[in-house]
Amino acid sequence: MSKRDYYEVLGVAKDIDAKELKKAYRKLAMKYHPDRNPDDKEAEAKFKEATEAYEVLGDEQKRAAYDQYGHAGVDSGAGGGGYGGGANFSDIFGDVFGDIFGGGGRGGRGGPQRGSDLRYTLELTLEEAVRGVEKKIRIPTLTNCETCNGTGAKPGTKPKTCGTCHGQGQIRMQQGFFSVQQTCPSCRGQGTIIEDPCTSCHGRGVKEETKTLSVKIPAGVDTGDRIRLAGEGEAGAMGGPAGDLYVQVSVREHSLFHRDGRNLYCDVPISIVDAALGGELEVPTLDGRVKLKIPAETQSGKLFRLRGKGVAPVRGGAAGDLLCRVQVETPVNLTDHQKDLLMQFQASLSGEKHSPQKKSWFEGVKKFFEEI
């Protein structure tokens, strides 16, 4: 049975460049790969056909011979779909298997690797967050072993190249018409083997320690803000650089103030007399007490703004405001005399002019029931 034209097999033009040729083959290999088409003989045949075509066209010399003489110029070397020859199947199958199995096909050899980043949640009071503070924190971490300088090998010795994978960290296994890369079982992907491990860290290159760090918290931080301490994370493997430590701020709830961005909110209870007749109260701020004037006929829930008594943002800008929300308190634990005075006061109120919200509220209620 005559073979199909290799360009036709891959669905490409004869003037296609190497990059586009590889992309076309990779697309077909992904589509017809046996692992994606189990027990599908037709897909398996198309996969072999595409692989044979790319083995020829992916090699410059074989492609030139094929362009001049056709199949006769390459039949002796094509091998019926084998994986010899000059096409870089290591790269191709690295890409294909990376997509099929969810990981990269090519493993890097074991060398210095950067350590992991760490996160530490630091709780602050509102006052500390607003004004800034310096805190000392203790964190458990992995640090480079000082005895072996992070190599894991006994001083005076050094790791040797793995004889199984020859320093690649991975080995290639041929299974029929396709190959699979696996982590080297001898060196576990490191590419090197420590024959004489360090006695301090037992070959790990790192030691578990608890260290104390001083952290400067700038004024104006809020919950969710992070402070990066470069190089204070987990130690790197094989003498690699350490990761970073991220200190994440969490501000505890305050008994008086609630923060919203650069503004602070505070509930201020006032008596019914102060609300009706007006008065002057002392209210707290983060800088001390200030006077707040309450005008006559103040309704519950009204906000009074004290400018500049809020928070200066950590990223710069003017300080926000303190907004005091007054809450009119209903008197409790009344004596009989006080109750009698209130009843007399109630009787003295005539008309709707003394209750500005009462009329509109009853009208709204009436309208609601009429529309049901």
Number of DSSP helices (H) and strands (E) in the chain, helices first:
10, 15
Q: Which structure tokens are listed for 144?
A: 């480079």
Domain with residue 343: its CATH number is 2.60.260.20
At 230 the pLDDT is 92
Contact 215, 122 (CB under 8 A): yes
At 1 the pLDDT is 54
Tell me the mean pLDDT per 10 residues along the chain, length 372: 83 89 87 79 87 88 84 58 42 45 42 81 94 92 80 85 82 66 79 85 81 92 92 76 90 94 94 91 91 92 94 90 94 93 85 70 77 72
Residues making up the annotated binding site are: 145, 148, 162, 165, 184, 187, 198, 201
Residue 370 placed within a domain = no
At 70 the pLDDT is 82
| Claim to verify: residue 121 and residue 207 sit in the same structural domain | yes
Q: Considering its fold, how many domains does the chain have in total?
A: 4
Read off the pTM.
0.54
At 238 the pLDDT is 65
Q: Note the helical H segments in the chain.
A: 6-10, 18-32, 41-57, 60-69, 75-78, 89-101, 126-131, 272-277, 336-348, 358-371
| Claim to verify: residue 288 and residue 356 sit in the same structural domain | yes
| Claim to verify: residue 122 and residue 179 sit in the same structural domain | no
| Claim to verify: residue 137 and residue 172 sit in the same structural domain | no
- Which residues are bridge partners to 303 per DSSP? 325
Choose one of 101, 120, 146: the last residue of a domain.
101
Contact 150, 231 (CB under 8 A): no
Q: Tell me how far CA of residue 242 lies from CA of 9, 114, 149, in angstroms.
A: 51, 6, 13
At 223 the pLDDT is 92
| Claim to verify: residue 87 and residue 121 sit in the same structural domain | no
Q: How far apart are CA 43 and CA 351, in angstroms?
A: 91
Residue 306 placed within a domain = yes
At 104 the pLDDT is 40
| Claim to verify: residue 47 and residue 89 sit in the same structural domain | yes
Q: Looking at residue 370, what DSSP letter applies?
A: H
Residues making up the annotated binding site for Zn(2+) are: 145, 148, 162, 165, 184, 187, 198, 201
| Claim to verify: residue 70 and residue 147 sit in the same structural domain | no
Residue 365 placed within a domain = no
Residue 369 placed within a domain = no
- Which structural domain range is residue 166 located in? 160-193
